[in-house]
Amino acid sequence: MKRPGKMLKEILENFLKKPATLNYPAQKSPMPKGFRGKLKFTPSSCIGCLMCMKDCPTGAIKINKVGDKRFECEIDLSKCIYCAQCVDSCPRKALAMTEDFELASLDPKTLKIVYHAEPESPAEGQTK
């Protein structure tokens, strides 16, 4: 060690500064704008064009028709790479990225999320 005084100066300067890290579980840091977290689906906005399924590079999204102009979405988060191509390709903005990133799970079944379509209103179900 050639210059111990230089190290002592560094220690004293940093001793009075606030820590640069957060106490993570207790303090949540705000996510930056444009953060790509868990996918969210809005069934009432979906028109069933299937562009999200076609653009998904991993096949993590499945759109199923459950009625006249009613669709449900199944998202497999274990396959999703959070690239947001599905969000960008949706013409009606039925898919969105949230700020939720704490998605670790020991049970793979919890990583499959099904967004069910809203129940059919009585007026829509009646035929003429």
Determine contact, residues 63/48, Cβ cutoff 8 Å.
Answer: yes
pLDDT of residue 61: 97
Return the CATH number at 99: 3.30.70.3270
CA distance 53 to 66: 16
Give domain status of residue 77, yes or no: yes
pLDDT of residue 29: 83
Please count the structural domains in the chain. Answer: 1
**pLDDT tens, position by position, 95-118:** 999 999 999 999 999 999 999 998
Q: What is the pTM assigned to this prediction?
A: 0.74
Determine contact, residues 45/92, Cβ cutoff 8 Å.
Answer: yes
Range of the domain at 111: 29-120
| pLDDT tier at 128, thresholds 50, 70, 90 | very low
Percent of the chain with pLDDT over 70: 91
| Contact partners, residue 56, CB within 8 Å, separation at least 6 | 85, 86
Give domain status of residue 72, yes or no: yes
**pLDDT tens, position by position, 4-13:** 677 888 888 8
